[in-house]
Amino acid sequence: MKINTNYLNLKDSYLFATVSRKVAEYKAANPSKEVISLGIGDVTLPLVPAVIDAMHRAVSEMGNADIFKGYGEYQGYDFLRQAVCGYYAKKGVRLDENEVFIGDGAKSDVGNIVDIFDTDNTVIIPDPVYPVYVDTNIMSGRKITFVNGNEQNNFLPLPDESTEGDIVYLCSPNNPTGAVYTKEQLKLWVDWALERDAVILFDGAYEAYVQDSDLPTSIYQIPGAKECAIEFCSLSKTAGFTGVRCGYTIVPNSLIRNDTSLNKMWLRRQSTKFNGLSYIVQRGAEAVFTDEGLRQNRENIGYYMENARIMADTLTELGIWFTGGENSPYIWLKCPGNMSSWEFFDLLLNECNIVGTPGVGFGQNGEGFFRLTAFGNRDDVIKAMDRIRKMRF
């Protein structure tokens, strides 16, 4: 018996454990201090009424012998896949129902998609980025090359003559930097992939936060993308489904490699290893895409984006460099005074009683940067910004 020794190459994930330990120690030593978290990567507003009503109705249906549902469709119920197609149609993207796969969230699908690719492929991953791309490829022993995000390219790396690889992960709006690729920039990646028969894995988990109508919210808004890209989306941050769980992955029928349809491969993978998402959750998800559901969720997103605006205004006022916050719930700032990510974390915790996330936890290029999130409540955000303003970094 041999274990998968690739797992031994994974780095321990110290980031959130260290943040929690430091915060717990500070609170124990300073019980009278009110600590505000701007590090939270989870939503705080509850599910909207349209979703709750739909889920209540679905629960009642499950108690009725005539319409009770057992195992569902591997790929998701037709009603939800049609709703997703309708959502994409509004973005100007035509999808076939069979190109939409409903799952339990973007993390699972982003992690599982590697099953359909040979371990021999070289994977390109931006640095800094959501750590799941790196770890899932280490687990399956793939070679990883990094493309650098930095202040000069606004944390939006682009391909050049030296960029070689078979699979590239793109995350836009980006976690942790909040940076969003323009259509022109995404086109460079699409053309790069088409030239080499490479595949783009596009993570659009934060697409609903894009406010600027000129910016793309799906890679399929770029000509040629249906021949080279798989797109992952999630209702987690769009509609507060982090605990309920629902996401969707688009694998176009025209995505063919080695004379094989990746859509058919992914269907085979899902129908073998996944038994579908609960009917109740899928009815709740369907409600997200109704006019009322979209309106109610837009209000929640508007609340978070106002938090982001308040944070961005404060940083601008203090002359601190940052990106994000305009089309994403994340603000990525440069630690003042050339502090390291952890030095700034400690200073912010000890002097302002504010918790954020050290950028170095998202990749080497994150050193010297820091992530704030807009998912907190308004009073806390205002209070936190007052404290930062008084510090005059």
Which residue ranges make up the site for ligand PLP (CB under 6 A)?
Answer: 41, 105-107, 110, 130, 171, 175, 203, 205, 234, 236, 242, 247
Beta-carbon contacts of 190 under 8 Å, excluding residues fewer than 6 positions away, are 200, 219, 222, 223, 224, 225, 228, 229
Burial of 46 (0-12, 13-18, 19+ CB in 10 A): exposed
Q: 128: cis peptide before it, omega within 30°? A: yes
Which CB atom, from 159 or from 178, has the smaller least distance to ligand PLP?
A: 178
Task: Write down the least CB distance from residue 25 to ligand PLP, Å.
Answer: 26
Closest CA to 233 of 217, 221, 222, 244: 217
Quick one: tokens of 285? Answer: 């998800």
* CA-to-CA dists, residue 388 to 7, 36, 277, angstroms: 41, 12, 44
Which CB atom, from 166 or from 203, has the smaller least distance to ligand PLP?
A: 203
Task: Write down the least CB distance from residue 39 to ligand PLP, Å.
Answer: 13
Task: Write down the least CB distance from residue 174 to ligand PLP, Å.
Answer: 7
Task: Write down the least CB distance from residue 110 to ligand PLP, Å.
Answer: 6
Residue with tokens 């994150």: 366
Task: Write down the least CB distance from residue 98 to ligand PLP, Å.
Answer: 22
Residue with tokens 């120690």: 25
Task: Write down the least CB distance from residue 80 to ligand PLP, Å.
Answer: 15
Which CB atom, from 205 or from 348, has the smaller least distance to ligand PLP?
A: 205
Task: Write down the least CB distance from residue 247 to ligand PLP, Å.
Answer: 4
- The answer to whether the CB of 232 falls within 8 A of the CB of 247 is yes
Beta bridge partners of residue 357, listed in sequence order: 371
Distance CA 218, CA 259 (A): 26
Quick one: tokens of 226? Answer: 């249906």
Which CB atom, from 280 or from 385, has the smaller least distance to ligand PLP?
A: 280
Task: Write down the least CB distance from residue 173 to ligand PLP, Å.
Answer: 8
Distance CA 77, CA 181 (A): 32
Which CB atom, from 241 or from 393, has the smaller least distance to ligand PLP?
A: 241
Which CB atom, from 105 or from 358, has the smaller least distance to ligand PLP?
A: 105
Which CB atom, from 81 or from 245, has the smaller least distance to ligand PLP?
A: 245
Side chain identity, residue 390: K
Q: What's the distance, Cα to Cα, between the start and end of the chain in Å?
A: 56
Phi, psi of 388 (to 5 degrees): -65, -40
The phi-psi region of residue 224 (left if phi > 0; otherwise alpha if psi is between -120 and 50; otherwise beta) is left
Which CB atom, from 165 or from 247, has the smaller least distance to ligand PLP?
A: 247
